[in-house]
Structure 1
């Protein structure tokens, strides 16, 4: 005999907007891998550049990432720091461009 699944189990949840997908990706990134992570973006009100976090992102940073998805790409594993730190100062590198895009987006919102 096979057990019948409830309607909730039978119907997969569908995320309706891109922002929900991005929010889930950020949260998943921080929670599925609770390793030490570093924020390498521009200084924020409560989060200076190179802030180190253990066991995921604090809520205030999650809110900033939801509002400015570019910040997600500026959260890296601690093991990537030597490479990332060099690339942040290299004009034209992906990290340099992301940092400046984030800085421009944040403006006075930091």
Structure 2
């Protein structure tokens, strides 16, 4: 498991979207170096992806279509170590997290 980094309050943290892995959560091998990631955006329709869902072996394949249609979904799947700061920014208009979440909200509303 990776050690958490100490970050100054005014220091910027670069958010890096995660790549979709070929494995699904059911078939992905478990390793000690896998960091948990969490989705912080709005929930998708039909319970396909709920806000604050945690993944422990990458992003499952069943989300690939939604991520292709709305790349902001992938951008709001972050290492769990960034949850606190990113969750705060989600509520602040003008931040990257808020803007990405607005794109997800529009995508969810447009889906039938």
Give the TM-score category using the shorter length.
0.5 to 0.7
Which residue of structure 1 lines up, in the alignment, with residue 103 of structure 2?
101
Residues 44-79 of structure 1: CA distance to partner in whole angstroms, max 9, x if unpaired? Answer: 132110100001112222221122112111110000
1:85 to 2:54 alignment: no
Cα contact 2:36–2:80 (8 A) shared by 1: yes
Gap regions ≥5 residues in structure 1: 1-24
Gap regions ≥5 residues in structure 2: 1-17
The whole-number CA distance in structure 2 between the counterparts of 1:36 and 1:84 is 15
Aligned residues: 84
Q: Which runs of structure 1 show a deviation greater than 3 angstroms over 4 or more consecutive aligned residues?
A: none
The whole-number CA distance in structure 1 between the counterparts of 2:96 and 2:71 is 15
User: Which of 1 and 2 has higher RCO (CA within 8 Å, sep 6+)?
Assistant: 2
TM (norm. structure 2) is 0.64
TM (norm. structure 1) is 0.65
* CA-based RMSD: 2.4
